[in-house]
Amino acid sequence: MRQSRSTKRRSECPISFGLDIFGDQWTLLILRDILFYNRVNFKDFAPREHIATNILSERLKKLESMGFITKCRNDKLQNQYIYSPTSKSKDLLPVLLEIMLWGFQYDPDSPVSKVFLERMGRERMTVLREITQAVESGRFAVYRQEEMGISDL
Amino acid sequence: MRQSRSTKRRSECPISFGLDIFGDQWTLLILRDILFYNRVNFKDFAPREHIATNILSERLKKLESMGFITKCRNDKLQNQYIYSPTSKSKDLLPVLLEIMLWGFQYDPDSPVSKVFLERMGRERMTVLREITQAVESGRFAVYRQEEMGISDL
DNA sequence: CCGGATCCGTTTCGATACTG
DNA sequence: CAGTATCGAAACGGATCCGG
């Protein structure tokens, strides 16, 4: 694969351990798909991003070998596999949420409504908690639309 | 440069706006150096990581063009330049902190003391606030050593 | 159809050497 | 000190093929 360099990097600590995941876009997109949108199948990962199948399969293997996801066969549809997040990746949610909030704040054409953006500034913690609950209960898509004011999927 | 693809990616929202930074290791390491360690000179960025000078200079340009850092000449030492974070990158601190905490939790040989790790689990918010203050007051190196129990630099 | 693997041209990386 | 130029090596990514 790559990044055997990451062992050297340990010395400087703060974010070094996360570089393997946060150093790669596709990995992040896959984790987003899994955590936010509850996507589980090969074909559903980052579907609009036109990720090449070879790249996707490589990343999935990497994520599996690093303990971020597990893979098992779908009982109903024997020719499908289901990828699920482990606690190691579920615990990345706070990170992804912070990235999301930061993005909403600095994206010149942020997709969220002004109302939500304002609330985000005022009651950050509450908003953070709300989203966390929405995500964990699988209702993020709804929250996104109703609370954030994002219409387009 | 690259990533003109990022415009397409907007539709899926959650972390898409952050991918330009979080998709690249070196960019993250530079931001870490700037935000946590108050490094300002070309030669000081990610010094132990052996980042190639061409890569470093490219990333610094990119970060500057994206509004994450500003560059100005050092008055005292005319042949040196000083890179400073903008509010756009300062506001990334919560993200980096979350990455750090996550890393401490899952790194098999986490550099932090057991005492700190335990405290991190119990009083997450407090710890988070502490570190934020330490970083923002330029005392992170001290905090790291005294509170986290990381001896080696 | 789904989940990949293989091939292969193109892009990017990154170590070193070199310049102002 | 702060970069640029060069160039071989690695990664990317589009297309195609393959097994279940």
Q: In whole numbers, what is the pLDDT of chain A averaged over residues?
A: 91
Residue-level pLDDT at A7: 42
Residue-level pLDDT at B11: 57
The average pLDDT across A55-61 equals 98
- Is A81 a residue whose pLDDT tops 50? yes
CATH for A14-86? 1.10.10.10
Distance, Å, A150 CA → C7 C1'? 42
Query: CA of A12: which chain B residue's CA is closest?
Result: B153
Q: pLDDT-derived band of residue A11, with 50, 70 and 90 as boundaries?
A: low
Q: Which of A20-24, A125-129, B61-65, B148-152 has the lowest mean pLDDT?
A: B148-152
Q: How far apart are CA A9 and CA A153, in angstroms?
A: 39
Share of chain A above pLDDT 70, in %: 91
Q: How far apart are CA B31 and CA B96, in angstroms?
A: 9
Which pTM value belongs to this model?
A: 0.93
Query: CA of A46: which chain B residue's CA is closest?
Result: B12
- Is B9 a residue whose pLDDT tops 70? no
Q: How many CB atoms lie within 10 A of CB B27?
A: 20
At B84, give phi and psi (nearest 5°): -125, 145
Residue-level pLDDT at B4: 39
DSSP state of A24: B
Protein residue ranges contacting nucleic strand C, Cβ under 7 Å: A 41-43, 53-54, 57-58, 60-61, 71, 79-81; B 2, 24, 26, 50-55, 58, 79
Domain limits of chain B?
14-86, 92-146
Which residue reads 């074909």 in tokens?
A: A43
Judge whether B99 and B108 are in contact, CB under 8 Å: no
Q: Are strands B81-85 and B69-73 parallel, antiparallel or unpaired?
A: antiparallel
